[in-house]
Amino acid sequence: MNSAPLRAAPSTLAAPPLLGRRGRTLAALALAGLAAALFLQLAPSQLIPPPSRWALAADFLAGALHPSFASDALQSPTGGLGAPLSILLSGLGRTLVFAAAATGLSLLCAFPLSLLASRSLGRPARWAPVRDRRISGLQRLGSAARSGLRLCLAAMRSVHELLWALLFLAALGLSDAAAVIAIAIPFTGTLAKVFSEFLDEAPVASGESLRAIGASPLLLFLVGRLPRVMPDMAAYAFYRFECAIRSAAILGFFGFPTLGYHLKNAFDSLAFGEVWAWLYALLAMVLLLEGWSSALRRRFVA
């Protein structure tokens, strides 16, 4: 008996896509960047300075090997020349004070705002009975208010602290309050957003045992969720403090008596040795604070 030729069974395994979703997203971003470069008519030759600038660039790099506070541009914010050491300590101290005040103010505002913006405080737990998962009108109102708060936080952090500084400089003048508030507003928005995400993503396995003994939803949040994210909150707060130091230093270019004030004077006078001296001082302060914050984080987590 003649048998029909056997046909190979069609393969059920589809070929993997050339690019996944993330790959397509990255490719789209790369193409968008290339299109923007073509639109702006950018060319690699534009990165090479003209010959007349080479001497100035060489002087700037040479200043890194010979940092000095002995230039005539070293002035105090109140006017007049001063002792280099006293001006150095004053510039670093004002930078540190502005950063600490702005970070402290932003933390005081960001922590309660993060609790209100977090979805974990008002939503029913996954282990809750079905009857407790029903969404009431009050919960819908709370969800709408939470969305509005998140929108306000996004608006606060979308404006850079330098733009806030220009606004408060016009409103309050060259005052310490203007500098502190200018840094604190965007930092509050960023801290509140990140803290709320920490709360939303915190593991809640311990909530089952707490609920089994009759714990209230507020107690579940305070005992089962909040302690788990406190180390992450502390670590991120220290990081934002380091960012605040850099922001406070840059505010000196607007006339505030921080490290940036002396950097601007040195740049304007082409005193590159002094420029590098202030940059090294800023780097040393950031490194010292990084070591201090790392030690505190280790003790906090332990």
Place of tokens 């089952």: 208
Question: Would you call 130 helix, strand, or coil by DSSP?
Answer: helix
Is residue 191 included in any domain, yes or no?
Answer: yes
Residues of the chain with pLDDT under 70: 1-19, 70-83, 121-139, 142, 204-218, 224, 300-302
Residue 27 lies in a domain: no
Q: Does 49 map to a domain?
A: no
Q: H-type helices in 251-271, by residue range? A: 259-268
Q: What is the pLDDT of residues 274-285, one digit of tens each?
A: 889 889 988 988
- Write down the pLDDT at residue 130: 46
Within-domain flag for 195: yes
Q: 54 lies in a domain? A: no
The number of domains in the chain is 1
**201 in any annotated domain:** yes
**Whole-model pTM over 0.75:** no
Q: CA 144, CA 123: separation in Å to the nearest integer?
A: 13
pLDDT in the model for residue 286? 86
User: What are the tens digits of pLDDT across the range 181-191?
Assistant: 999 999 999 99
The H helix count followed by the E strand count for the chain is 11, 0
Whether the CB-CB separation of 182 and 165 falls below 8 Å is answered with yes
CATH number of the domain within which 117 lies: 1.10.3720.10
Q: Which two tokens stand for residue 262?
A: 């002396």
Which residues form the domain of 214? Answer: 84-301
Q: Report how far residue 192's alpha carbon sits from residue 105's, in angstroms, rounded to the nearest whole number.
A: 12
| pLDDT reported for residue 180 | 93
